[in-house]
């Protein structure tokens, strides 16, 4: 069996809670998973200080298991990038792009869409945090710079990661923005949800990992060639929705089943299992 710990929205800075971060690391130490998936929003305000804390924490996780990480909308300097784009009539557009991801690249990784293969699973990370750009335009003012989108070129990267992996490996895509409307937030994270999910399905993806909504949820949908399981991890931080707790998801997969066990924070106790869902794997309908 392959075991993955999926965490999201750590939000180093004011929302981060040391006690919960320590408890998460202890949990990971206890189960020694095959891999750790971190689906973005490492920081709250994209500062060097927050990134340094996030980097140190990820470094401590790496001693336990390999991880794969992508940026979230809080990890990019999108406002400054917009100013650079406008100020010089697009002449500095490349500079604006570099500026946008500069702190993430300096502290976390140069690769914004990395993948990780562990025995039994391949996780293709795909950056959906592009700030204000053509694919992420929205009429909702509060979603400006917040909403994400999947770029076609990144779909090709997912395809390449899947093709390079062991044929029996569970195919998992990790994005930051939730493609399913949040139950409490009522918001979609992605601008091009339909197109993205069809593309993932057509590549034989079995599971999509995401965060951003700060509320854990597990969904199944039928798209394209076959169905997808979508696992949204909550947040480890205290930026929680009313009535919800900090949480993360444990993913277990073997030849027959895919299981997602949400773990929620219980004051005075720690992280405890809160939801347990199992699905049959769909490997038979995988494209060749
Ligand atoms: Fe977040
Ligand atoms: Fe986010």
φ, ψ (nearest 5 deg) of residue 20: -75, -35
Instruction: Provide the pLDDT for residue 91.
Output: 52
> In the predicted model, what is the mean pLDDT of residues 207-218?
94
pLDDT beyond 80 at 220: yes
Spacing, Cα 209 to ligand 1 middle (Å): 14
Instruction: Provide the pLDDT for residue 89.
Output: 46
Give CATH superfamily name and number for 2-285.
Answer: Metallo-dependent phosphatases (3.60.21.10)
> In the predicted model, what is the mean pLDDT of residues 262-273?
96
Tokens of 224: 């394209």
Spacing, Cα 109 to ligand 2 middle (Å): 18
pLDDT beyond 90 at 34: yes
Distance CA 77, CA 101 (A): 7
Tokens of 16: 């981060």
Weakest mean pLDDT among 16-25, 46-55, 80-89, 276-285: 80-89
DSSP bridge pairs for 122: 117, 171
Weakest mean pLDDT among 10-24, 97-111, 128-142, 259-273: 128-142
Spacing, Cα 214 to ligand 2 middle (Å): 8
Ligand nearest to the CA of 11: 1
Do 71 and 40 contact (CB within 8 A), yes or no?
Answer: yes
Spacing, Cα 283 to ligand 1 middle (Å): 32
43-96 residue pLDDT tens: 999 999 999 999 999 999 999 999 999 999 999 986 665 655 655 545 556 667
Spacing, Cα 175 to ligand 2 middle (Å): 10
Weakest mean pLDDT among 88-102, 189-203, 235-249: 88-102
Average pLDDT of the chain is 89
Spacing, Cα 287 to ligand 2 middle (Å): 32
Spacing, Cα 43 to ligand 2 middle (Å): 10
Task: Return the H-helix or E-strand segment holding 121.
Answer: strand 121-125
231-244 residue pLDDT tens: 999 999 999 888 88
Spacing, Cα 285 to ligand 2 middle (Å): 32
Q: How confident is the model at residue 263 (pLDDT cuts 50, 70, 90)?
A: very high
Spacing, Cα 146 to ligand 2 middle (Å): 7
Distance CA 213, CA 186 (A): 9
Ligand nearest to the CA of 12: 1
């Amino acid at each position: 069996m392959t075991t993955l710990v999926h965490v999201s929205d750590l939000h180093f800075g004011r929302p981060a809670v040391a006690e919960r971060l320590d408890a998460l690391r202890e949990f990971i130490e206890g189960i020694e998973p095959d891999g750790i998936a971190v689906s973005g929003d490492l920081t709250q305000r994209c500062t060097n200080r927050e990134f340094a804390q996030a980097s140190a924490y990820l470094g401590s996780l790496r001693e336990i298991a390999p991880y794969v990480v992508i940026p979230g909308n809080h990890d990019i300097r999108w406002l400054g990038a917009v100013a650079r784009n406008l100020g010089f009539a697009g002449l500095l557009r490349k500079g604006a792009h570099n500026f946008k991801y500069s702190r993430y690249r300096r502290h976390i990784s140069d690769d914004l869409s990395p993948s990780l293969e562990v025995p039994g699973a391949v996780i293709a990370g795909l950056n959906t945090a592009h700030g204000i750009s053509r694919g992420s335009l929205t009429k909702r003012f509060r979603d400006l710079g917040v909403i994400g989108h999947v770029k076609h070129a990144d779909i090709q990267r997912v395809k390449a990661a899947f093709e390079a992996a062991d044929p029996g490996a569970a195919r998992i895509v990790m994005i930051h923005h939730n493609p399913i409307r949040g139950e409490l937030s009522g918001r979609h994270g992605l601008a091009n949800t339909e197109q993205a999910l069809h593309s993932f399905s057509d590549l034989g993806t079995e599971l999509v990992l995401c965060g951003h909504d700060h509320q854990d949820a597990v969904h199944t949908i039928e798209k394209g060639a076959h169905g997808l399981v979508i696992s949204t991890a909550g947040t480890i931080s205290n930026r929680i929705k009313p009535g919800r707790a900090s949480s993360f998801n444990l993913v277990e997969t073997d030849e027959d089943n895919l299981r997602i066990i949400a773990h929620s924070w219980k004051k005075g106790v720690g992280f405890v299992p809160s939801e347990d869902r199992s699905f049959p794997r769909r490997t038979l309908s995988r494209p060749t």
